[in-house]
C-alpha cells in the first residue's frame, strides 16, 4: 500500500475509510485524511497515540471510552465521521496536492448538506483551512453549511502533540449539551 494514496487515481469510487454519515446526527467529526495506521486497520483515528477516542469520552461526547474498532457505533451517540480527502491517506504533508483541494472541499460540503448534522467539527486546523480558507482559526466558525454549525478543533494526532489543547473540544461538547440536549 502506497503511503500517499491508496488508489491509483482520485476517480476511484472506493474511499480509504467509509463515511459514517446519517440524517439526524448531532455532530460529524471531519479529519484531513486517514492516517497510515487508520488506512492499514480500516478504522478512524487508529494510531495508538491519537487522542481522539480519549477526548471523546473525557469531553462527554460518549458515555464510555470507545476504541477505533468501535467507530461504526458512533451514530448511536449522535456522532458521524468523515474526512476531507476520501481517496488518500498519510500525514498531511504526504498527501497529493489536490487531495485537499476545491473538489474535495465541495464534495465534503455536499455530503454535510445532504445529511444535515447540527454541527460539523474539523479535527485539525489544516482540515478546517483546506475547506474554509487560510485565515480560519480554532473554535466556532462564523459560517455554516446550511443549518450545520461549523467548529475547528486542535488535532488529536500524535504529530500535533506540541499544539494539543483539549479546551476547544470541551467547549464544543458544552455547547452541544446546552443547545442540543438529548
Question: Is pLDDT of 88 > 80?
Answer: yes
pTM comes to 0.92
Taking only the tens place, the pLDDT of each residue in 121-163 is: 999 999 999 999 999 999 999 999 999 999 999 999 999 999 9
Closest among 136, 122, 135, 120 to 85, alpha carbons compared: 122
Question: Is pLDDT of 7 > 50?
Answer: no
Q: What pLDDT is attached to residue 40?
A: 97
Question: Is pLDDT of 9 > 70?
Answer: no
Burial class (CB in 10 A: 0-12, 13-18, 19+), 58: middle
- Domains present along the chain, CATH in parentheses: 27-179 (3.40.470.10)
Closest among 48, 134, 137, 124 to 85, alpha carbons compared: 124
Question: Is pLDDT of 78 > 70?
Answer: yes
Q: Tell me how far apart the alpha carbons of residues 59 and 74 are, in angstroms, rounded to a whole number.
A: 15
Question: Is pLDDT of 82 > 60?
Answer: yes
Mapping DSSP to helix (H, G, I), strand (E, B) and coil, where does residue 7 land? Answer: coil
Closest among 151, 181, 179, 170 to 54, alpha carbons compared: 170
Q: What pLDDT is attached to residue 179?
A: 85
Amino acid at each position: 500500500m502506497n503511503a500517499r494514496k491508496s488508489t491509483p487515481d482520485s476517480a476511484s469510487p472506493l474511499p480509504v475509510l467509509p463515511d459514517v454519515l446519517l440524517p439526524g446526527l448531532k455532530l460529524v467529526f471531519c479529519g484531513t485524511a486517514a492516517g497510515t495506521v487508520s488506512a492499514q486497520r480500516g478504522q478512524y483515528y487508529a494510531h495508538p497515540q491519537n487522542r481522539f477516542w480519549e477526548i471523546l469520552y473525557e469531553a462527554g461526547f460518549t458515555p464510555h471510552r470507545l476504541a477505533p474498532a468501535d467507530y461504526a457505533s458512533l451514530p448511536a451517540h449522535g456522532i458521524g465521521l468523515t474526512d476531507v480527502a476520501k481517496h488518500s491517506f498519510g500525514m498531511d504533508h504526504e498527501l497529493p496536492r489536490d487531495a485537499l483541494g476545491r473538489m474535495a472541499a465541495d464534495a465534503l460540503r455536499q455530503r454535510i448538506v445532504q445529511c444535515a448534522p447540527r454541527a460539523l467539527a474539523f479535527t485539525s486546523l489544516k482540515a478546517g483551512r483546506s475547506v474554509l480558507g487560510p485565515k480560519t482559526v480554532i473554535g466556532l466558525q462564523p459560517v455554516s453549511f446550511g443549518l450545520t454549525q461549523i467548529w475547528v478543533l486542535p488535532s488529536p494526532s500524535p504529530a500535533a502533540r506540541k499544539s494539543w489543547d483539549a479546551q476547544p473540544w470541551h467547549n464544543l461538547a458544552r455547547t452541544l449539551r446546552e443547545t442540543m440536549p438529548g
